[in-house]
Each structure stands twice: as C-alpha cells, then as structure tokens.
Amino acid sequence: MKISYFPDTDTLYIELRAEAAVETRDLDPRTLIDLDANGEVVAVTFEHARDRADLAHLTLDLPSAA
C-alpha cells in the first residue's frame, strides 16, 4: 500500500495494490476509484483532500505480528 499527497492539486492518492488500473469510476464528484481487470479496487483518489481529511495527523495503525 502506498499513500501519496500532491499539494499542487490538493489530491490524496491511496494505492491499495500495485496492479494496473483498467478503469476509473467516479464514486462522487471528488472521489475516484481505480479498478483492475477483475473489477477489484486498486486505488482511491480524493480531490480537495485538505477540506476532507485531517492530513496533518495522518497515521498508520498496523496490527503487530503475533
């Protein structure tokens, strides 16, 4: 998984898997989802990210290995 923020366009991009996207769909006017050849979501794009998320406090909470 890879999370990228592009300040010049105020866009947050979350790549769930490094698969090629074959289709992009509008989830709403400011949210796009990228789908692979099987129709599975591989990435999500949030436009106007600063208005929609607390980017200054972005954290990653992963379960510890047992």
Tens of pLDDT along the chain (66 residues) come to 999 999 999 999 999 999 999 999 999 999 999 999 999 999 999 999 999 988 888 888 888 765
Q: What is the DSSP letter of 17?
A: S
Collapsed DSSP state (helix, strand, coil) of residue 65: coil
Looking at the DSSP bridge assignments, the partners of residue 6 are: 11
Neighbours of 57 (CB within 10 A): 6
Phi and psi of 56, rounded to 5°?
A: -65, -20
What percent of the chain is helix, strand and coil (3-state, nearest 5)?
Answer: 10, 40, 45
Q: What pTM did the predictor assign?
A: 0.85
